[in-house]
Amino acid sequence: MRLAAVRRSKLLRSAADTRSTRIGSSKPRHQAPGSTLPRVTPSTRSSCQASAVTTDGGVGSGPTMHPGRPPSSSTKARRDRGAVIGADRTPCFRRRRSPFLRIAGMESTVLASPLMRGPPSENRSLPDRFAPKGIRRIDEPALPFEFGALSREYNLKIRRKTAGGSFALKTTKTAGAATALSIFASIGGCGDPGSGSTTSPASDITWTSLAAENLAADASCTACHEAEPEVERRIGVSPGPRILGVDGVGARLSPAAIRTRVRGHGAESGLRMPDLLHGLDEAEQAVAVEELVHFLVEQGGPIPTDATRMEISTARIAQGASLWESIGCTACHGADAGDAVGFGDLAGAWTFESLANFLGDPLTVHPGGRMPSLELSDDERRSIAAFLLAGGDMTKTTASKPGLQLDFFEGDFDGVGPIDAVGGDVDPVRVPVPGVGPYAGRDRFGLHLSGEIEIPTSGRWNFYLTSDDGSGLRIDGRTVVSNPGIHGEIMERGSVDLDAGRHAIDIGMFEASGGERLSLSWSGPGVARQPVPAEAFFSDAVVLDAGWADFELDEEMARRGAVRFAQTGCTACHVPDMPQPRGTAAALPLASLVAGRGCLSSDVPANAPDYGFDTAELALLDEFVSNVRALLEPLPGDIAVAHSMIRLDCIACHERPDVGGPSVEARARFASDDDAELGDEGRIPPPLDGVGNKLRLEALRDVLANGTKVRPYMKTRMPIFGDAQTRDLVVHLAASDSIAADGREPEFDEERVAAGHALTGTDGVSCVQCHTVAGHPALGIPAVDLATMHARIRPGWFRKHLLDPQKTNPGTRMTASWGNGGTERIFPELLGGDPVKQVDAIRSYLSLGESMPLPKGVVPDAGEYALIPIDEPILFGTFMRDVSPRTIAVGLPENLHFAWDAEHARLAKAWRGAFMDAEGTWRGRAGQLEAPEGRSVLQMPDGPAIAMLETRDAAWPTANARDPAGLRNGAWRFAGVTRDDERRPAFNSELDGVRITERPLPRIAEGGTSLIRRFTVGSDAGRGDLYMRAAIATSIEPVAGEGDERIWAINGERTVRVSGANSFVREDPGGMKELIVKVPLKMVGREDVDFEGTFDVELAW
């Protein structure tokens, strides 16, 4: 069974039998009329200790919180088990030694706030509705989405008394008992249904139950029952899978599988799908099922039955099994795929192609994230599909066929090629003897040939392996021949003693460029040297046959099925935008539902969908609909985080105090790369305690919505749920965890950057010993890339982590370079040895990102043709893609680079990171189009940088346009390169008595080195028709400055600063905005020039 569903089911079942307490304007259940709020009595018992609570309010073990009372008739009718508070069977918020309040006269435990963590003296964040007015917002000021209601900080302190274990609240402003109780009630105790419910739908707005709300989201209650946007946002909507269209369910599933899903509750597939046909008699139900099946099969199908018969290599199945175990599938599904819901009949439901396509892009089918994406490559998705189908209930035979399996890999290789690789970039082919197969004539690829070789006679056998380029031969896993490296056609020989019979054989080979060749010969007892014959090679494959029954689509039944699909209500979940058919009664709004009625009845009426809810689930949903008004209020941050983590099953991999985490069995299955000696830290996904204070908002969104990976050593992948399912979780994590002071960046200047550069290298604290740097490998363990740190990590957390890593991440192998809790002074020559200043200096250096100069000790990971500027700029003439055949690429030691188009005398590109690889220019026949090796490539506007315009509104010329005088405007003549004392180039061009010098310069800046384009324009005559075009974009807005000093925002993503000249925005004929600079010419009266102007255009991105 799918473990995610099991976990949710356990939470729901265990929580269903406890009853809720409401704290607010209305009276608790069973409270006598006229009585006051209940008395609060202290207890030092842990809030998560197991206490069996029966449905009548009695406590089986632990302190009694309410005298036993007889249950109501409705409760008694549904009672089938007791529930447990705490242990591992409830959604109780786990914490260490947390005090809890015992409410005398009530039936539930209310915890102290989950937001109150750590020592009693620490300040904690609470949601805005509990915050005093005037508290400033936390973290970054400009947030791209609603954050206001959750983004303020409330200072709450707990004072514990030593006598009696009691405690009191102390706040920055006076808070009465009712306020304190309201805070506690809103946080929802253990998150079970007994933490704030009421019998009256309009009685309370502080109720919350994670179990009930997650069940409502899982059942998609709001798909039929309209609710306010605030309610949908709070509980989280789980839309049904997309099943219509040419890529619909008929293109994915067999008719038999569709019939199973339509006929039942979807239990076989692990889906919570209601039975919409239960009200029909047996005969009519059978007709309706067939009509719906034909309609749904028509959506992209039917799939030909011959598609269910397939041959899959054993190597691909083995690779799928390895991926299943390593990348995180087992966290949700369990180690044994055959035990998961629906997996036993995968072969009866899916073809190899349809399952592989689904695994490659599951969010297209399940936009609600029920099955997230792991960004599988084509090869990976096919391998996992092969593994799952081969392990299912289907006819399968293993056949040994003549020839070897050949797997093809595109890219650059060295040594003996990809001899250890499993599963190629395309489906494998079978070749009769070793060779390059269908890949002759290609460059830059590798091959892996695998199978068995049959040895006719025992004895010593010689093997002769010929290749161009490198190759290698293994027999039974032992290297027999090694013919490595880039070279022409070369033969190498090896010998091995072998018994008669079949032996495993692997051959690796790669081709860089030019000709390619691969062949294998042998000699041995009674066999003269000759090519190994085809009859000596074999390879295994599994032949699968799912045995699908033939299906003939009936168009008339499909037409009737379409009508029934709409009238039955299937569209509510699967096509929510489809209008409701005429004559169909609309479902009641969510706020109008009554507990125990309709689909919530134990005996569901014929006109309502039957979900098959059990007694525990019905109790939860009764409570849910009785408290719909409370859902208008947003959940407090920590509770909202718990809600999302349970709904998306984040706890399958991640631990967060008060929510949960992976089981002991699951933790044992996580894996890391063999070379990463990081212990559990290197293989188990990180805990999420305080992650909202650790990561910036953009980094949180990136990892949750896009699954961005920063830990190269960890095999488990972060699933991609999509932005719609995670955007609120980003907000709630930040609201729960952020500490305002930790958002302040340290002061930035070049002295600090230089100190940080020195500290990072091997002459400092040697960060490069473990961390990669802008893609260049670490000297040891390949930990998180330093170039990504500043963009991801908030400054306060970064400082705390470097000064005392065990405090922020207990058990980490991160070195505590500054001893004694971060107070020890080291390297006194750098910033006086002050630990805080030194850590801040490292952060300033890391803020340069991809453009930071490499620290001492880093060995660049580059090929033999890589160009790496170290001490001075590199000028490299090349043919560059999208520029021209006359391109001068310039690499700067500051890791900021640019390309000058000498053909058209203009700056064409700028980028950060790696500079250039000269292989295409220098190797072999050369002449290949090159491209920047780095990232963050900025494309300059096409056409000339400076042009002569009749008016400021005249169209910008193209490269070959002519000005009114008939001269080629835009074809400035390139007049050479000059260099300054630091060997930085300046590019000169001229036209019609105007001379332009452009000197691109780097400027060290926080967030990445920026590029200054310094223009010096000279003329023999004063003229006012010279303009420079600095940017083209859909949006260009002023940010700061005026007159000759202005900053402009380009598409909201980057900025342009213009200094020393007037700048303005205009619109071109195509509707694009252009940032134009008026070239300032002033009389200078020098011997070499009469008029001259200088201005800067700084690009930051």
Highest mean pLDDT pick, 912-916, 968-972, 1044-1048: 1044-1048
Q: How many C-beta neighbours within 10 Å does residue 375 have?
A: 18
C-alpha span between 87 and 52 (Å, rounded): 10
CATH of 744-851, picked from 1.10.760.10, 3.20.20.300, 3.40.50.2020, 1.10.443.10, is: 1.10.760.10
- Residue 321 Cα distances to 316, 330, 385, 669, angstroms: 9, 11, 10, 13
In contact, 461 and 496? CB cutoff 8 Å: yes
The token pair at 613 is: 């809810």
C-alpha span between 942 and 908 (Å, rounded): 8
C-alpha span between 761 and 852 (Å, rounded): 12
Find out if CATH 2.60.120.1560 is the number for domain 399-541.
yes
DSSP 629-655: GGGGSPPPHHHHHHHHHHHTTGGGT--
Residue 391 vs residue 537, higher pLDDT: 537
In this prediction, residues 930-959 reach a mean pLDDT of 89
Q: pLDDT of 810-858, one tens digit each? A: 988 888 999 999 999 999 999 999 999 999 999 999 999 988 888 998 8
C-alpha span between 996 and 1002 (Å, rounded): 20
The token pair at 85 is: 């508070």
C-alpha span between 834 and 530 (Å, rounded): 74
pTM over 0.85: no
Domain ranges of the chain: 233-303+559-626, 305-394, 399-541, 744-851, 932-1100
Q: pLDDT of 743-758, one tens digit each? A: 999 999 999 999 999 9
In contact, 223 and 238? CB cutoff 8 Å: no
Q: Count Cβ atoms within 10 A of the Cβ of residue 211 and give its class: 0-12 exposed, 13-18 middle, 19 or more buried.
A: buried
Topology match between the domains 305-394 and 744-851: yes
Q: pLDDT of 483-497, one tens digit each? A: 999 999 999 999 999
C-alpha span between 846 and 656 (Å, rounded): 29
Task: Give, as one character, the DSSP assignment of residue 174.
Answer: -
If phi > 0 it is left, if psi is from -120 to 50 it is alpha, else beta; for residue 797 that is alpha
In contact, 284 and 311? CB cutoff 8 Å: no
In the predicted model, is pLDDT for residue 938 greater than 80? yes
C-alpha span between 773 and 840 (Å, rounded): 18
pLDDT band at 265 (very low <50, low <70, confident <90, very high): low
In the predicted model, is pLDDT for residue 698 greater than 70? yes
Q: pLDDT of 360-380, one tens digit each? A: 999 999 988 889 999 998 878
Could you check whether the bond before residue 476 is cis, i.e. omega within 30 degrees of 0? no
Q: DSSP 3-state assignment of 64? A: coil
C-alpha span between 876 and 869 (Å, rounded): 11
Residue 152 vs residue 3, higher pLDDT: 3
C-alpha span between 1068 and 945 (Å, rounded): 16
- Three-state SS for 952-1020 is CCCCCCCCCCECCCCCECCCCEEEEEEECCCCCEEEEEEECCEEEEEEEEEECCCCCCEEEEEEEEEEC
Residues in the chain: 1101
C-alpha span between 401 and 54 (Å, rounded): 65
In contact, 703 and 718? CB cutoff 8 Å: yes
Distance of CA 462 to the CA centre of its chain: 51
pLDDT of res. 682: 85
Q: Count Cβ atoms within 10 A of the Cβ of residue 675 and give its class: 0-12 exposed, 13-18 middle, 19 or more buried.
A: exposed
Residue 673 vs residue 577, higher pLDDT: 577
Rg (CA), the chain: 35
Which of these, 198, 299, 220, lies nearest to 258 by C-alpha position? Answer: 299
Strand partners, 312: 542
C-alpha span between 483 and 131 (Å, rounded): 72
Q: Count Cβ atoms within 10 A of the Cβ of residue 813 and give its class: 0-12 exposed, 13-18 middle, 19 or more buried.
A: middle
Distance of CA 1050 to the CA centre of its chain: 27
Task: Give, as one character, the DSSP assignment of residue 722.
Answer: -
The token pair at 332 is: 């949700």
In contact, 11 and 185? CB cutoff 8 Å: no
- Residue 237 Cα distances to 271, 572, 591, angstroms: 15, 12, 16
In the predicted model, is pLDDT for residue 119 greater than 50? no
In this prediction, residues 790-809 reach a mean pLDDT of 95
In contact, 71 and 17? CB cutoff 8 Å: no
In this prediction, residues 413-440 reach a mean pLDDT of 90
Q: Which residues are CB-neighbours of 820 under 8 A, at least 6 positions away?
A: none
What is the distance in angstroms between the CA of the first residue and the CA of the last residue of the chain?
49
Mean pLDDT of all residues belonging to the chain? 79
Q: Count Cβ atoms within 10 A of the Cβ of residue 804 and give its class: 0-12 exposed, 13-18 middle, 19 or more buried.
A: middle
The token pair at 593 is: 């539902």
C-alpha span between 435 and 18 (Å, rounded): 70
The token pair at 84 is: 């447990």
pLDDT of res. 395: 64
pLDDT of res. 545: 82
CATH of domain 305-394: 1.10.760
Q: Count Cβ atoms within 10 A of the Cβ of residue 429 and give its class: 0-12 exposed, 13-18 middle, 19 or more buried.
A: middle
pLDDT of res. 382: 86
Q: How many C-beta neighbours within 10 Å does residue 929 have?
A: 14
pLDDT of res. 340: 59
Distance of CA 459 to the CA centre of its chain: 55
Phi then psi dihedrals of residue 959, to 5 deg: -60, -30
Q: pLDDT of 605-652, one tens digit each? A: 998 999 999 999 999 999 999 999 999 999 988 999 999 999 899 999
In contact, 350 and 389? CB cutoff 8 Å: yes
